[in-house]
Amino acid sequence: MRKMKKLIAVVLMAVLTLACTVPTMACTPPLKPPHIDIPEIEVKIDDKLQAGIDAAAKKFIEKNVLSKPVINNATYIQKTTRYGTYGCLSASWNKVDNATSYEVEVTKSDGTQKIYTTSYNAFVRANYYDEFLDDGMDGATVKVKAYGVDETFSLRSDEVDVDQYNF
């Protein structure tokens, strides 16, 4: 008797499920989203714009005549005493022929940057007069770019990690 009740319950559940599902399927239209053809987009640059782009590229190449500097070393020395903390950043690179000045770009690990300008192929900066160096140079990098007469310049040097020494 108990098995019969279970069987009847299962059959009634199946009939109830079909009774609810079939009308829904009959009333719901099939989903057919619209199909849109997107044409190929072709960009054509007119002759005047292309000539301007070519002239700008040629001017860039003419001005970029200095050789790329090569950094020899970049170090940051930090010493803590009972009177305070002293830090000194130094970098040196090869002398570039016909360069009149150099731009030294220092980037900290948090992304903050500072650019220094010098006329020598070396750079030394202490934290006594530069707050940028106060927090140390953990994970910092240095790049150098040379500038010459008549707006000539070089590409930036390869990025070099700053070696940090704490005493």
Asked whether 127 and 88 are in contact (CB, 8 A), the reply is: yes
Render 123-156 in DSSP notation, one character per residue. EEEETTS-GGGTT--TT-EEEEEEEEGGG-B-PP
Whether the predicted pLDDT of 80 surpasses 90: no
Mean pLDDT lowest among 36-40, 111-115, 122-126, 160-164: 36-40
Q: Is residue 25 part of a domain?
A: no
Interval 133-142: pLDDT, tens: 888 888 999 9
Residue 26: per-residue pLDDT: 59
Q: Is residue 3 part of a domain?
A: no
> What CATH number does residue 160 fall under?
2.60.40.10
Name the burial class of residue 98, with classes exposed (0-12), middle (13-18) and buried (19+) by CB atoms within 10 angstroms of its CB: middle
Q: Is residue 72 part of a domain?
A: yes
Q: What is the mean pLDDT of residues 120-149?
A: 90
Q: Which has the closest alpha carbon to 166: 98, 79, 45, 90?
A: 79
Interval 34-64: pLDDT, tens: 888 888 888 888 899 999 999 998 888 877 8
Name the burial class of residue 31, with classes exposed (0-12), middle (13-18) and buried (19+) by CB atoms within 10 angstroms of its CB: exposed
Q: Which has the closest alpha carbon to 145: 79, 84, 83, 101?
A: 101
Most confident range, picked from 13-22, 31-40, 80-89, 100-109: 100-109
Q: Is residue 36 part of a domain?
A: no
Q: Is residue 60 part of a domain?
A: no
Residue 23: per-residue pLDDT: 59
Compute and round to an integer the Cα radius of gyration of the chain: 36
Q: Is residue 14 part of a domain?
A: no
Q: Is residue 138 part of a domain?
A: yes
Structural domain of 144: 65-166
Residue 22: per-residue pLDDT: 60
Model-wide pTM > 0.85: no
Count how many domains the chain has.
1
Please tell me which residue, 120 or 6, carries the higher pLDDT value.
Answer: 120
Q: Is residue 110 part of a domain?
A: yes
Please tell me which residue, 153 or 4, carries the higher pLDDT value.
Answer: 153
Amino acid at the residue 144: V
Interval 6-34: pLDDT, tens: 878 888 788 777 776 665 565 667 777 78
